[in-house]
Chains A and B, each alone.
Chain A
Amino acid sequence: MSGDIAILGVGMHPWGKWGKNFVQYGVKAARDALKDAGVNWTDIGFVSGAATMRCGYPGYVAGATFAQALGWQGAEVNTSYAACASGSQALAAARTKILSGACDVALVIGADTTPKGFLAPQKGERPDDPDWVRFRIGITNPTYFALYARRRMEMYGDTQDDFALVKVKNARHGFTNPNARYRKMFSAEEVAASNMVADPLRLMDICATSDGGAALIVSSLEYAKKIGRGDAVKIAAISTVTPTFASAVIEMPDIATDSAAAVQAHSFRAALPKKAYEEAGISPNDVSVAEVYDLSTALELDWMEDLQLCERGTAAQLVRSGATTIGGRIPVNPSGGLACFGEAVPAQALAQVCELTWQLRGQAGERQVANAKVGITANQGLFGHGSSVILKR
């Protein structure tokens, strides 16, 4: 039996700081996805929502919240929370339901409304909470991104100019994307002139947080054929593995890595796509396009290596050669990535799948990667959460 499912429809609400209720973004994305799929809302058997922790109780039960907003129609609901991988976990729940035969067609949906400014920890004195501890001693999110970036400079000779090239490339990719929040070209000089946040990373190297919503309509292959969509883009793998002890890299929000005194250290980032490739039976050489979690410019380079799109330590050379630009050998973040979107946590992993669906259908307009056949996503969040999804034509 094939483990594939079909993507019948995709939809997004443009990213931004709109200040509206997250439910509005989700409903807009869902209605677009239903229309794109040619499926009626009342035919959806399962609603799988990605939770948001920032929008009160309706956010904790996002699946039900969206189902009610679209009009209760008796579907089963699920809500998944897995930090940045919430969307992928919600998608994985829908796939399981479909492959078990319990439902034919499902809506997978995530949306968020973000507060202004830096994300800050909850109030109160909580020395047992690593997230509280690290802020108390002055370790912020950009600290971790900067440590990874500096490590590349020290190990592989990457430069701040290389990181700036990633921003320039992603800004160009996202320039014409109607769902991107930032549609502005940047020169390397402009990136270099932006304020230093955490050396070597500048303001233009680090992604913002945004409002946004994304939705998918997914079904069994049989259902897709039945409604005349046998040619739909398919999901070939969803990896949501946890890390393997001991951690090789210092992970947010920790103060220290695990000790590898007794066991070998493992890279979590590298493990996520590895499982996806194995599940899909697809080799990194077959990948035509990738959407990766560029929380920072330098992190995009780490992801390229973790996805095995190039040898460890050589990602900057690929960027310099133009290979990761649309038209190059292996375009990365044709959507513009987080650099152009900003992070809308529960929607982001689904937005990556939306972009790859458009790419594999040949519907990405000016962002189109020619003859894209296989796409892969990658993301990582707090507390051992992450995902990698493979799409194929």
Chain B
Amino acid sequence: MSTKPQVPVLEGWFTEQDGKAFLLGTRCCGCGTYYFPRLSTYCKNPACDSEKFEEVPLSRTGKVWSFTNACYEPPEPFVAAKPFVPYTIAAVELDKEKMIVLGQVVEGVNVSDLKAGMEMELVVATLNEDETTVKTVWKWQPVVTGGAN
């Protein structure tokens, strides 16, 4: 485990409380629509003109909508390890928010390990590391149901 300071790659997008990771969103006080990334200006629902929002942590579990991986190194501003290590990506549907959120999947989980409808939970993990800091990001991780298989 690195002793370098851990810095979120995006300030105010996610947090950890009691070892549990949450995405930080907002909820329109007028119509109840959730926003991630957080929105605090004008509600995007055409039937709502509210400009009031409350800050809410989003559901930290959801179901796989779809998934893929990145076999090639993305262009900047992505910071890739040398040599580049492919990673898995999931689109996860949050039930309460009725919203699909993208994210990398934790290391060690491959495309062949995933299925639509699988339960996933949010964790905070390393995105990339340089000489001074570890940049962290939210990632999806399959919920271990214990005893299955």
Residue interface mask A7-43, B partner, CB < 8 A = 1: 0000000000000000000000000000000000000
A259 touches B33 (CB 8 A): yes
Residues of chain B whose beta carbon lies under 8 Å from any beta carbon of chain A: 9-11, 28, 31-37, 44-48, 65-72, 74-78, 87, 89, 91, 96-104, 111, 115-116, 127, 137
Known: A135-B75, A138-B87. A198 touches B69 (CB 8 A): yes
**CA A245 – CA B31 in complex, angstroms?**
13
Q: Nearest residue in A to B75 (C-beta to C-beta)?
A: A120
B70 touches A259 (CB 8 A): no
B115 touches A138 (CB 8 A): no
B102 touches A250 (CB 8 A): yes
- Minimum CB–CB distance from A152 to chain B (whole Å) comes to 9
Q: Nearest residue in B to A134 (C-beta to C-beta)?
A: B102
Q: List 16 A-B contacts (CB under 8 A).
A: A123-B76, A127-B10, A135-B75, A142-B70, A147-B67, A147-B102, A151-B66, A199-B69, A199-B71, A201-B68, A255-B101, A258-B44, A259-B36, A260-B98, A261-B97, A263-B45
Instruction: Give every chain B residue within 8 A of A127 (Cβ-Cβ).
Output: 10-11
Known: A139-B102, A262-B31. A197 touches B74 (CB 8 A): no
Known: A135-B77, A138-B74, A138-B89. A262 touches B137 (CB 8 A): no
Q: What is the number of contacts between chain A and chain B, taking CB atoms within 8 Å?
A: 138
Partner pick for B66 among A133, A139, A150, CB 8 A cutoff: A150
**CA A199 – CA B66 in complex, angstroms?**
11
Instruction: Give every chain A residue within 8 A of B71 (Cβ-Cβ).
Output: 195-199
Instruction: Give every chain A residue within 8 A of B36 (Cβ-Cβ).
Output: 255-256, 259
A293 at the interface (CB under 8 A from B): no
Instruction: Give every chain A residue within 8 A of B111 (Cβ-Cβ).
Output: 199
**CA A140 – CA B77 in complex, angstroms?**
11
